[in-house]
A = this chain, B = another copy of it.
């Protein structure tokens, strides 16, 4: 029944993040915020995408600084993400978001595996909750690379053998490792995205430090780059105000 794949295993070190749908503009923040004071008079602006004036930017900055968060919710971005399962495990803990991920029950999973590249720090120092990471030695890099390759290939071969023996996909996949890539669509608004970014990036301007795993940070950074093109003034205000979600 289940066609066994013939694809060559692939090892990757980067994350894929595409912005596939976006309805998110700085001006969306403005009409939402101004309804407080202007009521029905905001309606004309709600559709427009005028260049932001100084007082518009000032309003966004004020909302961010004083944590008036709701005006940042009337927008929506859908990202397509490819990342290893251990990243998705961390990602999907963010509940103010919508997810759809490929299924190990409904499809045969492709042999695409994450392997840390040479830039990935391997040595953990410091105390729990505030670990720092230093470069690994060449020997450590070699050890990781070898272990990752060997385990990934062996696990995938075992997966294939079980499928060939007629075992259900949902059972066979349990031997696959956490570095297997998966793919998903995730939809968030800017307020929720800022919460995600505040926790999943480590940034010099962050008022509250966070110590995310580097791989989810790669995803977060790519999302942030996309978001900054959609809502540049909101993004600037976020960073200016300590990268705390309002």
CB distance from A148 to the nearest CB of B (A): 6
- Range, interface on chain A: 35 or more
Residue A187 lies at the interface, judged by CB distance under 8 Å to chain B? yes
Give chain B residues whose Cβ lies under 8 Å from the Cβ of A89. 85, 88-89, 92
Query: Are B139 and A165 interface neighbours, CB within 8 A?
Result: yes
Measured in the bound complex, the distance between the Cα atoms of B76 and A76 in whole Å is: 6
Contact A38 B93 (CB under 8 A): no
A120 nearest CB neighbor, chain B only: B171
Q: Is the CB of A37 within 8 A of B128?
A: yes
- The 0/1 profile, CB within 8 Å of B marked 1, for residues 166-195 of chain A is 111111111111110011110101000000
A239 at interface (Cβ–Cβ under 8 A)? Answer: no
Q: Name the B residues within 8 Å of A110 (CB-CB).
A: 39
Q: Which residues of B contact A208 (CB under 8 A)?
A: 65-67
CB <8 Å contact, A122 and B37:
no
**Chain B hits for A23, CB < 8 A:** 21-23, 76
The interface bits of chain A over 1-13 (1 if a CB of B lies within 8 angstroms of the residue's CB, else 0) are 1000000000000
Quick check: A37 and B175 within 8 Å, CB to CB?
no
CB distance from A196 to the nearest CB of B (A): 13
Residue of B nearest to A43 (CB): B80
Considering only residues 118-163 of chain A, those with a C-beta below 8 Å from chain B are 120-124, 128-131, 133, 136, 139-140, 143-144, 147-148, 150-152, 154-155, 158-159, 161-162
Residues of B within 8 Å of A22, CB to CB, are 23
Residues of chain B within 8 A of A102, CB atoms compared: 35-40
A155 to B154, CA, bound (A): 9
B-chain residues with CB within 8 Å of residue A230 when the two chains form the complex: none
Check if B47 sits within 8 Å of A20, measured CB to CB. Answer: yes
A–B Cβ pairs within 8 angstroms, 9 of them = A20-B31, A21-B46, A21-B74, A35-B183, A74-B78, A76-B187, A95-B96, A147-B161, A174-B178
What is the interface of chain A, defined by CB distance below 8 A to chain B?
A: 1, 18, 20-23, 28, 31-33, 35-40, 43, 46-47, 62, 65-68, 70-71, 73-76, 78, 80, 82, 84-86, 88-89, 92-93, 95-96, 98-107, 110, 114, 116, 120-124, 128-131, 133, 136, 139-140, 143-144, 147-148, 150-152, 154-155, 158-159, 161-162, 165-179, 182-185, 187, 189, 198-199, 208-210, 213, 244
- Using A39-B182, A95-B96, A143-B165 as known contacts, list a sample of 8 further A-B pairs with CB atoms less than 8 Å apart, ordered by residue number in A: A36-B102, A37-B102, A67-B210, A75-B187, A123-B168, A147-B158, A151-B154, A155-B155
